[in-house]
Amino acid sequence: MNKDSSDLQTEVAFRKGKKRRKRKETLAAYAFLAPSLLIFLVFTFFPAIFSLVAGFLRWNLPFDPTFISLRNYEYLFVDEIGAAAFGNAMLNTLYFMLGIPINMAISLCIAILLNRRLPAVGLFRTAFFLPTMTSMAAISVVWIWLYHPADYGLFNSILIQAGLPIQSWLRDPQLAMPCLIAMGVWRGMGYNIVIFLAGLQNIPGDLYESAEIDGANWLDQFRWITLPLLSPTTFYILIIGVINSLKAFTEIDVMTQGGPLGVTTTIAYFLYQYAFQYFQIGLASAIAVVLFLITLILTLIQFRFVEKRVHYV
């Protein structure tokens, strides 16, 4: 009896000690998490909730906010002027996204070309990756100079030598967006090539060997081995491209400021204008919420696909 109770006592003491240790560990763990959690709380979670709420307010700085329920969303989707402006920004963004498939096609071709063991492959890879490395603001300045509307602008001088009329490029409402797309393709290529190359190197080589034995030419091999086995990579690049297009801001701010005639006002620039030029915080928040939902859906689709999709189309 006596022995039993002393056993029980040590057992209780042991459990208490374990519990105390566990509590101590929990405290220590939260101390470790504290810096990250604090920043996320103040600059991610709180702002996200704040935007959700502010979307229901009319809040034109410096005036005080008033609750107007869904009127901001009504303005963006129903109102004659508002919906026209928002729709225009959305259409511009879709137009801007035309760069994604062009970029993917070119990047895939270059990646296939780069996927061999020859001297100086690394050098070429570096050349293609250089634009991706450099800051978008600096690159945009260089391209403004390339697109210079006078005859000494590089692109215009090439047109003259080819016997074609010179263009005003970024100042031409018809050409401004294609100009931005061309620069975007040039800059984004390096990143896509690296991702495509990683995907290509994951395809087992014996598949090509057995295909060759079966008499498949390179086009067959591309169609029936490379493309299907690369589809997860392709899909990843596509989604990232769409999300980045929704965010595109720097090149537009540096090169066109949304002009001429608003043809390069994509959705991110539209949001910036409402928030930091017109100071309509409520309306800007509503735009941000719509953008957030689109991005969220795209991200979730991407997670689903990456999990579910096993290579073959």
* Binding residues among 220-249 for another protein as defined by CB under 8 A: 236, 240, 243, 246-247, 249
Owner of token pair 């959700």 = 52
Residue 65: CB minimum distance to another protein, A = 11
In this complex, which beta carbon is closest to another protein, that of residue 8 or of residue 27? 27
Q: Does 218 bind another protein (CB under 8 A)?
A: no
Q: Does 138 bind another protein (CB under 8 A)?
A: yes
Residue 49: CB minimum distance to another protein, A = 9
Residue 127: CB minimum distance to another protein, A = 4
Sign of the alpha-carbon dihedral angle for 261, 266, 268, 274: positive
**Piece of 75-83, 207-215, 222-230, 287-295 that binds another protein (CB under 8 A):** 287-295
Determine phi and psi for 277, rounding to 5 degrees.
-115, -40
Owner of token pair 């990250």 = 36
Residue pair 101/180 in contact by the 8 Å Cβ criterion:
no
- Pick the binder of another protein from 60, 88, 167, 295 (CB under 8 A): 295
Q: Does 8 bind another protein (CB under 8 A)?
A: no
Q: How far apart are CA 30 and CA 47, in angstroms?
A: 22
Q: Does 256 bind another protein (CB under 8 A)?
A: no
Q: Does 171 bind another protein (CB under 8 A)?
A: no
DSSP 115: S
Near another protein in 79-108, by CB under 8 A: none
Residue 150: CB minimum distance to another protein, A = 8
- Pick the binder of another protein from 126, 174, 210, 217 (CB under 8 A): 126
Residue pair 187/136 in contact by the 8 Å Cβ criterion:
yes
- Pick the binder of another protein from 13, 142, 164, 227 (CB under 8 A): 142
> What's the Cα-to-Cα distance from 124 to each of 30, 111, 115, 192, rounded to whole Å?
48, 11, 11, 15
Residue type, 41: L
- Pick the binder of another protein from 10, 26, 210, 217 (CB under 8 A): 26
Structure tokens at 139: 């690159």
209-216 contact pairs (CB < 8 A, 24+): none
Q: How far apart are CA 46 and CA 65, in angstroms?
A: 18
In this complex, which beta carbon is closest to another protein, that of residue 8 or of residue 33? 33
